[in-house]
Amino acid sequence: MDLSLRTCKKFVHLDLKGAPPRIGYFIELIQLFADLGANGLLIEYEDMFPYEGELQVLQSKSQPPYSREEIASIQDAASSRGLEIIPLVQTFGHLEFVLKHKVFRDLREVDCCLGTLNPNCDRGVKLVQEMLKQVMKLHPNSTSLHIGADEVYMLGLGDESKQWLTAPGRNVHQLFLGHVLKVAKSIQESLPNLKLIMWDDMLRSMTSETIKESGLVGLVQPMLWDYSPTLDVNNAVALMELYKSAGMSQQWAASSFKGSTTVHTCVTGTQRHVDNHLQWLNVASNLSAGIKLQGIALTGWQRYDHLSVLCELMPLGLPSLASCLQTLQHGSFTEEVQKKVIETLGTVEVADTERLSPRTSSTFGGAKLAELIVKLTSSLESAELRHFQNNMFVRGWFTSYHIQKKTVNPLIAQQIKTQAKMFLDAVEIQVVEVRAEMRLLYSDSTVQEWMDQHVTPVLEPLHNLLRDIDRVLQEMGLCI
């Protein structure tokens, strides 16, 4: 049992680039996070931040960003429960929400890659500096800032970078480190007491000497992330020891409680995320004394990136989050842990609808939506619905050939229609319920996006089939 992870700060990551909750639900979540044992929030606003001036174009177009007053209320709610807030602002990779705009297109490293900033352009550095300045101005009490810098794809493939790399002794590692150093130093000059954190993945292939000579040591603390339930403990320990040998003894870990199963997952499975945290406990117990673990961020991704579909909504991930936080506090996923989670939320597994059904005082905010989505997802994933067009009658008597030649058996066509309509009507009753409940917690644009991504693709083939049946029967002069 490792005390370093049990006693270090535990930050819940809020990924607001997808399905940002209505402010009332946001405040409710903050209270719940505190009740579950969190010490802070790692908030990634992206396009939900009220950027001003030249940066106003970065604001979400599908819904209004959080207002300055709402951001103040988020901080007040967190402060009232003793939760620290660390803003996360991407400064190199994953800048799709910035570089997708025409006005910033020329700042891309490679034109087809919307995520990576050209590190050779002063305007790009100034853009990042202005983003950081505006975010920190609205977070005057935050003592730490996360500058991202993960998954900087296509780095070194832009024309200016290729030119820079032609000089003897230069490589892509130095190109990466040089940009991060510029950003970190500029922050240090204006906010000298601010602690800086960065994702570690771009450092993993570097030698200890390369990192040591970069100038980043003492400026930035690495956050090593791994969300796998089968996390390689020895590899993670070796990486953290590598960073320590480079002079970075203050380090962070990052686990996951949702949003890392598949890009389109709708229902969170608790066990895989608990397993991830059990592996992190193993990592921490194998670290040398010289590594000073500052905390762990429990990430809850809402999208894989700015342009991907929505992952599980927050209510679906709360039982997992509670289980993971309690696992970290107790050092294992014991019966005591599960009892504590059930006392707080009513369940440790969101798919356990029997526990979610009763609307008791201990049921968590968003539980009804979670229950409805679990049921709807089960219906949408049923073989009968998802593969309806493969059933015997459709494949035997209502193929594209039959439609084209108008050689349709009306009796069987009516039978197909009746069965398809029965499935659709049952599911669409559930859809109406989900939509109504979701609107209480999320904006209309989020509700519509979720429906378009997770519901419409499954139901559309049946709607098309019904239209084809009606059209063909009508063309054949038969009653519909």
Residues acting as catalytic residues = 151
Question: How do beta strands 9-15 and 40-44 pair?
Answer: parallel
Contact 344, 318 (CB under 8 A): no
CA-CA distances (angstroms) from residue 94 to 113, 127, 129, 152? 10, 15, 16, 7
What is the distance between the alpha carbons of residues 346 and 349, in angstroms, rounded to a whole number? 9
Rounded to 5 degrees, what are φ and ψ at 305?
Answer: -155, 180
- Identify the sign of the CA torsion 412, 413, 417, 420: positive
DSSP E strands, 217-344: 220-225, 250-258, 292-300
Contact 339, 360 (CB under 8 A): no
* Two tokens, residue 340: 């504590």
Rounded to 5 degrees, what are φ and ψ at 299?
Answer: -80, 145
3 state DSSP class of 236: helix
Contact 242, 222 (CB under 8 A): no
What is the distance between the alpha carbons of residues 260 and 269, in angstroms, rounded to a whole number? 11
